[in-house]
Structure 1
Amino acid sequence: MSKLLVIGAGGQLGQCLKVVAERRGITEIIFPAEQDANILNESGLNELFIKEKPAYVINCAAYTAVDKAEDEVDLAKAVNETGAANLASACLANGAILIHVSTDFVFEGNEVKLLKEDDEAKPINVYGVTKLDGEKAVSSILPAHFIIRTSWLYSEYANNFVKTMLKLGAERDELNIIADQVGTPTYAIDLANAILDIIASSSGAYGIYHYSNEGVTSWFDFAKAIFDISETRVRANPIPGSAYPTKAIRPAFSVMDKSKIKSTFNIEIPYWRNSLVECLKQIKCNK
């Protein structure tokens, strides 16, 4: 396999890529420290590219604090748009192919239908706007790109919904969980495998792809599954999103159609609950 460079190596997906690369025996993959791969430092990026000479770059770096982004607009824009543009420019100058991770939050999510890659993107919060602007920057600067939109990412690493539910479930007798926001959880280990499958294919079928686990669920049912599988004794109460107002509005329905990525790269996608079982097993082993 060609030499790979992972930007945002310390985050959830970056850590999962490290695990999956080791499992698959991939040695030509670099995980630079954050200070050596700052996407807002153009000259530093160029030095890194000249030194490492990657054939593929995987961008896992992003500003993902959805509610904080409503107040930190400039920072979210800098990381998600300017940073993505800087990376695309560095790839163009150094002949590298970019795999850029994006989000289901680029969609409004006000219709109950599977979202396809060419459906109109109409984000309803700052995070979604900045991620869409990042997608546009990548596609306008660099022809050789794969943009992968994902949703509800979780794993045994970093902070995420699964780990938060396990923590709160152990501390409290009951929890109120939003039941009217529907999507699909994605185990970051599965996404990491899909990314490495795309690279291994050496395909030139550039463009936008959707990847999440299979199936559909709500945050409430996702939480219930976490508690059931982990045998966490806590009462979960379904509530409407209106009962738990947040700074950023979320899409009500953001289930993505994955047929394009499956047919193009012959990728098999696990069902979300099966992947959750595997993740919870790993969390238990790591204790």
Structure 2
Amino acid sequence: MITDQDTDFLYLADTLPKMYLAFYKCFERTLNEAGIEFYLLPNTKDVWAVDYMPIQVTRDEFVQFAYNPSYLQPKVWQKTISNVDNICTSINIQPKKSRILVDGGNVVKATDKVIMCHSVFTENPNVPEKQLIKELMELFQVDQLIFIPTQPKDFTGHADGIVRFLDDKTVLINKYTKEDKGFGLTVKTALHNAGLDWVEIPYNPYSNAKYKHSNGIYINYLQMKDSLILPVFGQKEDEEVVRLFEQLFPKLKIATVNSNELAYAGGILNCITWNIKL
């Protein structure tokens, strides 16, 4: 499996500068300063590129899952589903296609394992669970598929706002407090049962006006071969998170970008980025 730390080229949706121009300008400047080369995916209909673009399994192999999640079924949202076939053709990628419904935001990758939320089962009710697990493991080409609970009220059911891999044996997880503390315990239990250790990182979305707002969720960062870009929000946790990530990733260039505008829409950096290994 190609992991984030293997990737060396970044794609963003061409809708990003159209929909969130102020954020885009800041992000573009941060990427340029970090020396990260990027390209805009053509003819997209939404900014959340990681969800609809294929999963890179090896350098030359991509898997394109069906992208038609339950939360986009209302007619008003159907028009936001991009034609991935056309996009892939335009960038000379020919992925293997799967009938399974999977959002890329629900695929958290290590070299030999993948973490997903239970939502993948509810998104594919007509596929028996054992068959679904078998097919996913074969498509991902991994030895272990780990399932964690879906965060309550998260209509997307994505794992990339809950957990990320530090290395093949350790993950980063949100430091849940208040009403989320019980949920955090169930996540830790699932990780422990899978043989993984964890490090907690600051997490503070509790003052957000709406549940869908992602302000204060730092785990949805962009990681590539030489760099890691953290979202910051003008909160007291910003500085603590930067110091912690400098310790956790001493070989990477750590940069930050104010992500409030994007977070109000419900997503952050991993959501909008499709980074691959060329």
| Same fold? TM cut 0.5 | no
Q: Highest relative contact order (Cα 8 Å, sep 6+), 1 or 2? A: 2
TM-score by length of 2: 0.29
Larger relative helix fraction: 1
| Larger gyration radius, structure 1 or structure 2 | 1
